[in-house]
């Protein structure tokens, strides 16, 4: 695969989380910058404006929602799609609607009360559950809230490219493996691999994630 890789991070996460993985690939790579405000379509518009002309999506967590919207908006530009513990809603469904009940209710209620930046202890217990203290502290410090509409806006109708893969994280406290399996099926992944980490494999075990991505690509 010679197309550039476009990394779509999970909500609130800084670009540097992908540094070790990006360094292992000889092709052009970039990490999408999010507007942090506006609609899901605003996110897709900004990403497409700054992305290479044609690219392979590597989408983590809610980055899968943004990636799905990129496919809906500009399918001719997306050469492949790999999810990494990624949320892949069905067409017409939002990130929140793709969650099982009662998770959907709990997350929606927390967002209404506290916004889209979880408390530090929640980030440490879920997102950063298997990171070392230094990594976890940096994630907490640099986490940025996203637009609520990123979670609530439905994704458009789309047809994913022929190259479709999914990396499951088997020790994930943020997105259970059973739910990841549902999202892999929604993507229509032709290959599914696993890494034994929590929700941030690019930090917990970048070598394992890089190996999985190389196999899928």
**The pLDDT of residue 2:** 85
Do the Cβ atoms of 128 and 183 come closer than 8 Å? no
Q: In 4-142, where does DSSP find H-type helix?
A: 19-23, 40-50, 63-73, 103-114, 120-125, 133-142
Percent of the chain with pLDDT over 70: 100
Mean pLDDT of all residues in 196-215: 98
Domain locations along the chain: 5-216
**The pLDDT of residue 108:** 72
Q: How much is the mean pLDDT over the chain?
A: 95
Task: Name the band, by pLDDT with cuts 50, 70 and 90, for residue 111.
Answer: confident
- Interatomic CA distance for residues 6 and 4, integer angstroms: 6
- Interatomic CA distance for residues 170 and 55, integer angstroms: 28
Report the 3 state secondary structure along 11-49.
Answer: CCCCHHHHHHHHHCCCCCEEECCCCCCCCHHHHHHHHHH
Question: 23 or 115: which carries more pLDDT confidence?
Answer: 23
Mean pLDDT of all residues in 71-76: 98
Q: Give the CATH number of domain 5-216.
A: 3.40.50.1820
- Interatomic CA distance for residues 185 and 192, integer angstroms: 10
């Amino acid at each position: 695969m010679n197309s550039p890789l476009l990394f779509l991070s999970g909500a609130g996460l800084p670009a540097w989380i992908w540094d070790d993985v990006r360094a292992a690939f000889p092709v052009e790579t970039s990490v999408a910058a999010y507007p942090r405000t506006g609609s899901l379509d605003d996110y897709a518009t900004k990403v497409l404006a700054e992305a290479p002309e044609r690219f392979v999506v590597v989408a983590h967590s809610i980055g899968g929602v943004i990636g799905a919207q990129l496919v809906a908006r500009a399918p001719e530009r997306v050469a492949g799609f790999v999810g990494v513990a990624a949320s892949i809603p069905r067409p017409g469904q939002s990130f929140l609607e793709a969650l099982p009940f009662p998770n959907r209710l709990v997350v929606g209620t927390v967002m209404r009360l506290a916004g889209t930046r979880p408390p530090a202890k929640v980030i440490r217990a879920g997102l950063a559950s298997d990171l070392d203290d230094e990594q976890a502290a940096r994630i907490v410090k640099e986490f940025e809230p996203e637009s609520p509409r990123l979670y609530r806006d439905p994704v458009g109708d789309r047809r994913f490219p022929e190259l479709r893969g999914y990396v499951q994280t088997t020790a994930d406290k943020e997105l259970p493996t059973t739910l990841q399996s549902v999202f892999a099926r929604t993507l229509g992944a032709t290959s599914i691999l696993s890494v034994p980490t929590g929700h941030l494999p690019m930090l917990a075990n970048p070598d394992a994630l890089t190996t999985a991505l190389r196999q899928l690509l």
